[in-house]
Amino acid sequence: MHERDSQTNRQAERQTTVNRPRNGNIDCNRRNVLVVRDSVVVWFLGRAERQRSGQLARELWVTCRTLLSVITHGHPVPAAKDRPTSIRAELNAVRDAGSEYPIVHVALSTVSEQAINRGVYTPDALRRRFDGVRRVARRVAMIDESGGTMARYILSYLQSLFVLRSTLASDADDVSEMSVFALLDNAANCLKYGDIEQAVRYVNQLVGEPRRVASEWLDEARSLMETRQAAELILAFASANGLGSLD
């Protein structure tokens, strides 16, 4: 009886020994399956988020391109010639499309209230407006900050008749040493080729009565540049985000 019990115990121990590795393999396989499942779920969730981010970036890119097009060329049907172009709707579209991105709000905060409420002049409109500014500023080139007598105004006007306009940029090294006529001619030449930033640098060097005459134009040009820079920054961000979302 005792031998039978011992034999039974040894058989049970052998069966347990045989089953233990098999059960261990099953547990290991289950863990591997769970790891693979979790990895697949994470990948699909990440892919869905990338697709969503890419869609938002594309919408933001489209609205920015529309804003830049309006800033540069105006609306297809302009309200009036050489009047500010309204960009409120385009700015709101950019703000809505980029509502999840802090950089969009920061960039749009640099746009002036005047540009939002009244609009901006297109580059062509600014160039045409500068023709009038240039004409008047030439006539008062001799008038400084303290003003002048009637005789000095007449003399300044007569001087403007004898100083020919130049279509060639001055090559003076020191911009501050340029005459009023050279500054105006250089600014006009820059605007002819669409370089508003450099034109503003030249006009900004004016002093006295010519500076007062050009002050409103300077404000309009800066408003356009600020708005365009904000749109270009957001466009670059949207482009980078769109590329980063590609699988």
pLDDT of 36 strictly over 50: yes
pLDDT of 15 strictly over 70: no
pLDDT of 43 strictly over 50: no
pLDDT bucket at 57, cuts 50 / 70 / 90 = confident
The mean per-residue pLDDT over the stretch 15-26 comes to 53
What are the domain boundaries of the chain?
1-247
Crossing angle of helices 123-139/196-203, nearest 10°?
20
The reported pLDDT for the residue numbered 44 is: 43
Q: Are 93 and 62 in contact, with CB atoms under 8 Å apart?
A: no
User: Which residues does residue 147 pair with via DSSP β-bridges, in sequence order?
Assistant: 144
pLDDT bucket at 28, cuts 50 / 70 / 90 = low
pLDDT of 37 strictly over 60: no
pLDDT of 244 strictly over 50: no
pTM of the model: 0.74
* Distance, CA of 13 to CA of 16 (rounded, Å): 5
The reported pLDDT for the residue numbered 157 is: 83
Q: What is the pLDDT of residues 66-110, one digit of tens each?
A: 999 999 988 876 555 678 999 999 999 999 998 888 999 999 999
Contacts of 132 (CB under 8 A, 6+ apart): none
Q: What is the pLDDT of residues 103-142, one digit of tens each?
A: 999 999 999 999 999 999 999 999 999 999 999 999 998 8
The reported pLDDT for the residue numbered 100 is: 86
List, as own/partner pairs, every contact residues 206-212 make where C-beta atoms lie below 8 angstroms and the sequence separation is at least 24, other chains included. 206/137, 206/180, 207/144, 207/145, 208/140, 208/143, 208/144, 208/145, 209/137, 209/140, 209/143, 209/144, 209/145, 209/147, 209/148, 210/137, 210/140, 210/141, 210/143, 210/180, 210/184
* Distance, CA of 97 to CA of 109 (rounded, Å): 15
The mean per-residue pLDDT over the stretch 178-197 comes to 92
The reported pLDDT for the residue numbered 246 is: 41
Q: Is residue 117 classed as helix, strand or coil in its secondary structure? A: helix
Contacts of 184 (CB under 8 A, 6+ apart): 134, 137, 138, 202, 203, 206, 210
The reported pLDDT for the residue numbered 46 is: 47
pLDDT of 162 strictly over 60: yes
pLDDT of 45 strictly over 50: no
pLDDT of 51 strictly over 70: no
Tokens of 201: 């640098």
